[in-house]
Amino acid sequence: MCSIAGIFNKKRPIAAAQHDEMASLLEAMHHRGPDARGALQCASWALLGSNRLRITDAGNPGADMPLTSIDGRLAIVYNGEIYNHRDLRQRLSGFPFRTASDTEVILAAYEAWGLACLERLEGMFAFALFDRATQTGLIACDPTGQKTVYLWEDDDALVFASEIDPLIKDPYRRKDWDLDGLAEFIAHRFILGSGTHIRQIRKLESGTWLARTPERQETGRFYRIPRGDLSRTDVPAIQQEIKEAVVDGCRRTFDLEVPYGLLLSGGIDSTAVLAAARRAGLEMKTFSIGFRPTGQLLPRSASVFDEFAYSRALARELSSKHTEITLSDTDYCAYLDRWIAIAGEPLGSQEAPCLIRLFEEAGREARVIFSGSGPDEIFDGYSYGRAVADVPLSDLAERYDAAFRWCGTADLGQLMPHHDAARLTTAKVRAILSLYRDWPLDSLQAVQLLHFHGRLVVYEFRQMDLISMRHSVEARSPLASTGLVRSAFAFQSKLKQLDGHEKGIYKQALADLVPPVIASRKKQGFPIPAEMWFSRPFVERAAILFEPGCVLSGAGLVDQRTLRRLWEDPDPATRNLFSRLYTAEGILRRQAPHLAPSRAA
């Protein structure tokens, strides 16, 4: 697990100043790889760099990056873990390996199979590889989007990095706000597809590659969810396949050389990982979080929410060394400010403070932390998408925006009168669904595909990567394997609500793996009371939105009159909107000195 960066010039050789630029990019991502740093000019026009967090072949400095092949033809910088690297190593026995690292396996796989190697890599990865023989720079991101690369591009150069913030603060490159992207974040909590809030910066999408030579640039896709038999109804066989995929996904990620732990929520997903670890003979440290008010919540608040009773019982039953962490409303807002400081792009915000506190604590004891991320999105664990499950598939793109918004359509239209988030999202939804045009889709299956490409890939995994790596910790998600994703789209969609229960067929498939009380539990989210957004610590912070210097208002994105009206709305769902507005405002204030602001028409 590491950070990567690179510069591919299009018209001129690498200049001395660009070596300084690379050094600045790597220094800004030191937290992602504090164990080693290196840079390599691979050609007159190509420069690669990396920071390494030593996880696999951890004791071997010879596996630091950039790593080159013995003949010097290939060089690579890489972020992630290839879980089947030992199997691939056996198949590539003719390659003269010098390390036990998964990084070198990618070099060998590329030498043997070229671009087709991407289809054989199982795990999470984002890498840049340079082939001196063909003068080609290749960048690729894993199928499920657990690792990504941000790309800044103009007519002269392509610059890339594992995080967006170093690119935004790069003084050599022009940046302008994309207010449409900001509007989409405010409506949906993330920006769907490859877009960001910066016009010149995009994400390399999951399951795709980009190749650059001195003369041309091209992109391609090596992964989409494979088409299964969407008419299947043989429940016992389906459940067996799901269980095997869960166990196999966990087994592959349990190859460890460094201390490890698990985020234990008390739900079925993290419990399944803990149970699989126990069966594999791993003694897992576990970490859970709960919410405790300090008396600063406004009088409307009476709720206290945590899952300690469940996680504590699970830790006891499955013999884990367990740590419980509590957050007060004051703590929560302080960690929200920390999220704004590290996010780099408008993303999420509600769960981020909890994750930061969890990784802060877990990072003191472990270098690898497991989570249960994945099944909620692919096994229909969210109710809000079902609002459009019965509409005709041809109308889904237009209806998606209303179903997935976190505030009323009319309110958002008045709040952001110059930016039609619905129009922007509709085009992106159509592009995603076009990947599956040969599937006999119904609307519910389409919604779950959108959950995968949106909430899971763009939102949850991006947030997890940023927070875990800020604490120099590798986050692994065994339940997001391509095997389990394939199993989730290989039967009739209505079975995901088997017997009327969310994730019904998935829960029944794991009935003999997890305790019965967990298998039957209704899904719970992160422990954040709705009243949090009415607490004094948050109210005091949100006041910046009404100041004369509000960046969102000054840029022409939000209407102050509507903003003030919504602030008086007693509905917690409406007040939740202000967590995103506060996040966006905070990020833009930090980045404003590095950007050229763009006003609405």
Give the residue numbers annotated as catalytic, written as ranges: 2
**Nearest by Cα to 334 from 354, 310, 358, 348:** 354
Quote the CA–CA distance of 315 and 318 in Å, as a whole number.
5
Q: Is 443 annotated as a binding residue?
A: no
Quick one: residue 57, left, alpha or beta (phi over 0 = left, psi -120 to 50 = alpha)? left
**Across-strand partners of 123?**
82
**Nearest by Cα to 161 from 323, 344, 301:** 344
**Across-strand partners of 176?**
596
Q: Is 415 annotated as a binding residue?
A: no
Contact between 599 and 556 under an 8 Å Cβ cutoff? The reply is yes
Tokens of 415: 């709040």
Quick one: residue 84, left, alpha or beta (phi over 0 = left, psi -120 to 50 = alpha)? alpha
Quote the CA–CA distance of 528 and 534 in Å, as a whole number.
12
Q: Classify strands 36-43 and 150-153 as parallel, antiparallel or unpaired.
A: unpaired
Quote the CA–CA distance of 69 and 517 in Å, as a whole number.
52
HEC sequence for 49-95: EEEECCCCCCCCHHHCCCEECCCCCEEEEEEEEECCHHHHHHHCCCC
**Nearest by Cα to 220 from 289, 140, 287, 324:** 140
Contact between 218 and 211 under an 8 Å Cβ cutoff? The reply is yes
Place of tokens 């879980």: 83
Q: Classify strands 474-476 and 368-370 as parallel, antiparallel or unpaired.
A: parallel
Angle between helices 396-404 and 443-451 (to 10 degrees): 50
Contact between 199 and 177 under an 8 Å Cβ cutoff? The reply is yes
Helix-then-strand count for the chain, H and E: 23, 17
Q: Is 454 annotated as a binding residue?
A: no
Tokens of 329: 């409303």
> Any idea what DSSP says for residue 461?
H
Q: Is 123 annotated as a binding residue?
A: no
Quote the CA–CA distance of 285 and 273 in Å, as a whole number.
12
Quote the CA–CA distance of 299 and 308 in Å, as a whole number.
25
> Any idea what DSSP says for residue 556?
T
Q: Is 566 annotated as a binding residue?
A: no
Question: Is the peptide bond prior to 66 cis by the omega test (within 30 degrees of 0)?
Answer: yes
CB neighbours (10 Å) of residue 196?
Answer: 25
Total residue length of the chain: 601
Binding residues for L-glutamine: 102
Binding residues: 102, 263, 289, 371-372
